[in-house]
């Protein structure tokens, strides 16, 4: 165990080499191991495989869930720090030099680099056995996909590869999302050919991380974002709803949402999941799952106290929720002109669940009683996703996908459509595109 922890430190240090994609990446740290020692050895690559998940589950999730949660109006920024105030204000008041924008950009670049290091080097190390190699590669494809999809749902354009010498080029978000899906497909194909070994599970993922099911779930999620409804439905149907996966934490490596919200006090959850009054349904038990009293009113906005998966520093965070898969199926069916009755049955499975959810997220609502039309059921899917998937990093993208009011409308349900590009990227990379207006 001591060696594994030492190797984990090596992996994380290796990932930290990347500051931003436009920078020259030839910095030397005399106290860190030579990079070749990390990426050209079995032990180093095992550590890097652990490290990429560890980095994303702490630093990555903090940015992807919390910062975008403010922009999508799930959270309210309540701290008096400039970065938080700018993020809360949104619109033209959110400048390109905001530290949160740089944070989400640079952290996804680090996840990409660490994943690329594994993909490029693991096949060249002869001491890595087949089941370990397939696990390493599929795991790297997963986290490369997560980083790409996070960028694609945050910025209008992004890079799909990192670079150590040349300035990266940018691609439209649709192409970035397509690249994320490609990585998931590659990961699935690798595991179809060679399942992971027990050694990989023991040394890298542990028993709480079902890699194959996660690949299917995220493939369903990202294909839904991309409008590939047949592929979204096909992958959703492959997810084992009895299987669960979690990002796990400790007092040394605490839950990042708990740490930032409960300890630092930067953000608080908005009442009613941040939904407008006409979209919130009284009696939804998920509100009491995700938040509790004491409540308050901050600058006119009712806020609550965050609970759910974020009540203690060691609370695990689900990698995905089973009911997300049901809602993906319902939406894919509706958007591809499928059976209204089949979609409604899936929606009601989520609405009427009173117990049995493996993570305790039960709506306990009556069956849907509104109009059974495609438009009405899609709105119901949006409402259910807003409650079920609260603070999973998806609300902002959902707000755009479902055509909810955005800025500069007075009834806007998000405070920006996309973030501007961080100044540090623009200063170092002449390929950086113009910033979006809002």
The pLDDT tens digits of the residues spanning 85-141 come to 999 999 999 999 999 999 999 999 999 999 999 999 999 999 999 999 999 999 999
Enumerate residues 6+ apart whose C-beta is below 8 A from 278: none
Q: Can you give the pLDDT at residue 209? A: 98
Q: Could you tell me if 98 and 157 are in contact, meaning their C-beta atoms sit under 8 angstroms apart?
A: no
Q: Lowest-pLDDT range, 26-35, 127-136, 429-438?
A: 26-35
Could you give the CA distance from residue 35 to residue 46 in angstroms, rounded to a whole number?
A: 14
Distances (CA, A) of 101 to 98, 242, 319: 6, 37, 23
What pLDDT score was predicted for residue 34?
64
User: Positive or negative CA dihedral for 379, 385, 391, 397?
Assistant: negative
Task: Name the residue among 112, 96, 234 with its Cα closest to residue 161.
Answer: 112
Instruction: List, for residues 258-311, the tens digit of each pLDDT value.
Output: 999 999 999 999 999 999 999 999 999 999 999 999 999 999 999 999 999 999
Average pLDDT over residues 171-182: 98
- Cβ pair 257, 317 in contact under 8 A: yes
Name the more confident of 349 and 29: 349
Instruction: Identify the pLDDT of residue 38.
Output: 83
Q: State what percent of residues in the chain have pLDDT above 90.
A: 91
Least trusted range by pLDDT, from 29-33, 198-202, 327-331:
29-33
Lowest mean pLDDT among 34-48, 166-180, 404-418: 34-48
Domains of the chain listed by start with CATH number: 2-259+312-428 (1.25.40.390)
**Tens of pLDDT along 13-27?**
444 433 334 433 333
- In the predicted model, what is the mean pLDDT of the chain? 93
pLDDT in tens, 365-374: 999 999 999 9
Average pLDDT over residues 4-33: 41
Distance CA 26, CA 286 (A): 48
Residue 196: pLDDT above 60? yes
Q: What is the pLDDT of residue 33?
A: 56
Average pLDDT over residues 407-416: 96
Residue closest to 67 by CA, chosen among 140, 142, 143, 151:
151
The fraction of the chain above a pLDDT of 70, given in percent, is 92
pLDDT band at 30 (very low <50, low <70, confident <90, very high): very low
Q: What is the mean pLDDT of residues 233-242?
A: 98
pLDDT of 175 > 50? The answer is yes
- pLDDT of residue 208 exceeding 80, the answer is yes
pLDDT band at 195 (very low <50, low <70, confident <90, very high): very high
Confidence of residue 165 (pLDDT cuts 50, 70, 90): confident
Q: What is the 3-state secondary structure (H, E, C) of the chain?
A: CHHHHHHHHHHHHHHCCCCCCCCCCCCCCCCCCCHHHHHCCHHHHHHHHHHHHHHHHHHHHHHHHHHHHHHCCCEEECCCCHHHHHHHHCHHHCCCCCHHHHHHHHHHHHHHHHHHHHHHHHHHCCCCCHHHHHHHHHHHHHHHHHHHHHHHCCCCEECCCCCCCCCCCCEEHHHHHHHHHHHHHHHHHHHHHCCCCHHHHHHHHCCCCCHHHHHHHHHHHHHHHHCCHHHHHHHHHHCCCCCCCEECCCCCCCCHHHHHHHHCCCEEEEHHHHCCHHHCCCCCHHHHHHEEEEEEEECCEEEEEECHHHCCCCCCEECCCHHHHHHHHHHHHHHCCCCHHHHHHHHHHHHCCCCCCCCCCCCCCCCCCCCCCHHHHHHHHHHHHHHHCCCCCCHHHHHHHCCCCCCCCCCCCCCCCCCCCCHHHHHHCCCCCCCCCC
């Amino acid at each position: 165990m001591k060696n594994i922890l030492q190797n984990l430190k090596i992996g994380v240090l290796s990932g930290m080499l990347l500051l931003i994609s436009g920078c020259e990446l030839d910095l030397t740290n005399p106290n860190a191991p030579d990079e070749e020692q990390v990426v050209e050895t079995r032990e180093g690559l095992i550590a890097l495989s652990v490290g990429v998940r560890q980095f994303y589950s702490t630093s990555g999730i903090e940015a992807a869930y919390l910062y975008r949660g403010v922009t999508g109006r799930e959270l309210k920024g309540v701290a008096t720090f400039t970065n938080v105030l700018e993020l809360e204000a949104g619109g033209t008041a959110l400048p390109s030099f905001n530290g949160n924008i740089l944070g989400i950009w640079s952290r996804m670049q680090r996840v990409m680099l660490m994943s690329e290091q594994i993909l490029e080097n693991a096949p060249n190390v002869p001491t890595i056995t087949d089941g370990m190699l397939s696990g390493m590669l599929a795991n790297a494809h997963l986290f490369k996909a997560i980083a790409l999809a996070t960028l694609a749902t945050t910025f209008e354009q992004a890079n799909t590869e990192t670079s150590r010498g040349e300035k990266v080029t940018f691609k439209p978000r649709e192409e970035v999302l397509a690249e994320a899906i490609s990585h998931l497909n590659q990961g699935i194909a690798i595991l179809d050919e060679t399942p992971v070994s027990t050694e990989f599970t023991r040394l890298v993922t542990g028993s709480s991380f079902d890699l194959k099911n996660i690949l299917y779930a995220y493939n369903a999620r990202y294909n839904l974002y991309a409008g590939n409804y047949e592929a979204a439905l096909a992958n959703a149907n492959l997810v084992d709803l009895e299987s669960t996966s979690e990002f796990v934490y400790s007092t040394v490596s605490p839950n990042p949402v708990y740490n930032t919200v409960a300890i630092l006090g930067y953000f608080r959850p908005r009442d009613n999941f941040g939904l407008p009054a006409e979209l919130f349904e009284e009696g939804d038990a998920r509100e009491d799952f995700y938040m509790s009293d004491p409540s308050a009113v901050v600058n006119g906005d009712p806020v609550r106290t965050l609970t759910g998966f974020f009540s203690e520093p060691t609370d695990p965070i689900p990698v995905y929720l089973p009911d997300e898969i049901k809602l993906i199926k319902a939406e894919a069916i509706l958007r591809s002109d499928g059976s209204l009755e089949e979609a409604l049955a899936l929606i009601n499975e989520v609405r009427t669940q009173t117990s049995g959810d493996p993570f305790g997220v039960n709506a306990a609502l009556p069956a849907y009683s509104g109009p059974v039309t495609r438009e009405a059921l899609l709105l119901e899917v949006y409402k259910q996703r807003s409650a079920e998937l609260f603070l999973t990093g998806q609300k902002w993208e959902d707000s755009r996908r479902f055509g909810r009011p955005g800025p500069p409308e007075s009834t806007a349900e998000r405070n920006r459509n996309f973030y501007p590009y961080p100044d540090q990227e623009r200063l170092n990379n002449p390929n950086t595109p113009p910033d979006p207006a809002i």
